[in-house]
Chains A and B, each alone.
Chain A
Amino acid sequence: MVTVVTEDNRSKYREQLAQMHRDRKKVFVDRWKWDVPVIDGEYEIDQFDTPSAIYLLSLCPLTRRHLSSVRLLPSTEPHILGSLFPELCEGDVPCGDDVWEITRSVETPDVPKKIARESSDRITVALVEFALLFGISTYTCTVHMGMVSMILSEGWECEPLGLPKTINGELLTALKMKVSPATLQLFRQRAGCRRPILEWETSAAAA
């Protein structure tokens, strides 16, 4: 299952979110050498980890430990593409209630590749379920050019928003991905899951 963490139920997932921020630090700062803020030497937390951010967490079914996750930001509020890299868009930065941005896609580095991969497959399914449930027609993302083939091969219906540009020594590009029920079917087939996998506990239910 993939857990939706919003402002309302965040207090229930403190431990998992802390693991996520630790894994983000291990991957983005230690491995990929991104120049992003690190809190207390172990958590990668930036200016976009606000109450508006929604996290999709894939947790280990046994231990409830963080395996992989993404952060979703509404395009109507400050987000990576709009605030940091608008020059990657040839035209206007896509913006609207039905447009959300995917960022900080991460897998915990401590688990075997196969488990990490299955967990990421679940996240892609969850992204589409989430979009279809909540009226999101389009995701945007800023990615390294080297990731584009892989994203396309997953079956996302992608369009480039502008030509790639070298920024701080990295070739970056912005994509938009349209979401449809066909996308969900395709991703479910690949991940081998036939039922909805999003789970969402409200704070009221938790009490």
Chain B
Amino acid sequence: MSTFWDVQEFVSAANRVTSFPELTSLMEAMSKTLGFDYFAMVHHVDVVAPDVIDLLNYPSSWQEMIAERKYASDDPVLVACQFTNVGFRWSDVPSMIVMTARQKEILRGARDAGIGDGFTVPVHIPGEYAGSCSFGLRLGKDFEDSAMPGAQFVGCFGFEAARRLIRTATLESGRTVAPLPQLTQRQLDCLVLAAGGKSDWHTAQLLGIASDTVHQHIEDAKRRYGVATRLQLVVRALFDGKLTFRDIVN
């Protein structure tokens, strides 16, 4: 059973780690202390890049399937992160989002790979990719409610340690990370309405501006992201956390 003391130890160790292998073993050990078998600390993007966090120790059969079938962007647990900023049990996901057939398939796949219930801490940082830290259990095992408060902190501090390692690596390599494109408030206003299916004319009525201006705002936003279609623009804005599903669904 984990205590606050374990969490404190973890926090001070996480602040000291100097490499990703070190952070991975620390996360592995701490997941066990919390009563879990697996962890996954990831940015919710389907790309491999030096500034993308992707640390996990799920069974390799499951990791391969995630990569092969491009499950990352549809994983219902990661999608559910859009709707909360505190940790949640995977068994609560069906009450948080309406799952598609593909998402149900993903959950079945995880079960087949031997992964049962778990707990996920979302990490929302303005201007960065959405991320999370998950703790999973072997099928048939259960975790106590008392593991959750500690897991909340381990998720947050673990993720911050990973961010720090990436920052340090970037500084040392002299590489500059392109900042995420920024959208103006007006561009976002137009994008939210467009993503919700409103025409330029309707958006213009709602915002009290000209239809041409709406069109121009969306075109400018597309240019900032370097994408060609509105659909791509919406997807990128969702990935970056500029938009949330809730903005659009409501």
Q: Which residues in A have some Cβ–Cβ distance to B below 8 Å?
A: 90, 112-114, 117, 144-150, 152-153, 157, 159-160, 162-165, 171, 173
Contacts and interface: CB of A to CB of B under 8 A. Distances in A.
A165 B185 CA distance: 35
A153 B185 contact: no
B4 A164 contact: no
A163 B123 contact: no
A149 B185 contact: no
Contact of B125 (A90, A113, A149, A173): A149
Given A114-B185, A163-B7, A146 B153 contact: no
A90 B157 contact: no
Given A164-B153, A171-B86, A149 B159 contact: yes
B159 A163 contact: no
B230 interface: no
Interface in B1-18: 4, 7-8, 11-12, 15
A98 B125 CA distance: 30
Contact of A160 (B86, B87, B128, B153): B153
A160 B11 contact: yes
B66 to A, nearest CB: 23
B26 to A, nearest CB: 16
Given A113-B185, A145-B86, A159-B8, A164 B156 contact: no
A165 B149 contact: yes
Interface in B140-157: 149-150, 152-153, 156-157
B126 A150 contact: yes
Closest 8 CB pairs of A and B: A146-B85, A163-B149, A152-B160, A149-B123, A153-B125, A90-B4, A148-B156, A112-B185
Given A149-B160, A153-B163, A171-B152, A163 B4 contact: yes
Residue from B15, B123, B126, B153 whose CB has the most chain A CB atoms within 10 Å: B153
Nearest to A166: B149
Contacts, number: 62
A152 B157 contact: yes
Interface residues of B, number: 27
27 contacts: A90-B4, A112-B185, A113-B185, A114-B182, A114-B184, A114-B185, A144-B86, A145-B86, A145-B87, A146-B84, A147-B85, A148-B152, A148-B156, A149-B125, A149-B156, A149-B160, A150-B126, A152-B159, A157-B15, A159-B8, A160-B4, A163-B150, A163-B153, A164-B153, A165-B149, A171-B86, A171-B152
Interface centre among A112, A113, A148, A165 (most CB of B within 10 A): A148
A149 B86 CA distance: 10
A153 B130 CA distance: 13
B159 A164 contact: no
Contacts of A164: 149, 152-153
Given A112-B185, A171-B86, A159 B11 contact: yes
A149 B127 CA distance: 13
Kindly name the residue among A117, A144, A150, A153 whose own CB sees the greatest number of chain B CB atoms within 10 A: A153
A18 B126 CA distance: 29
Contacts of A90: 4
Contact of A149 (B12, B15, B84, B124): B124
A4 B11 CA distance: 33
Contacts of A149: 123-125, 156, 159-160
Q: Among A113, A114, A160, find the residue whose CB has the most chain B CB atoms closer than 10 A.
A: A160
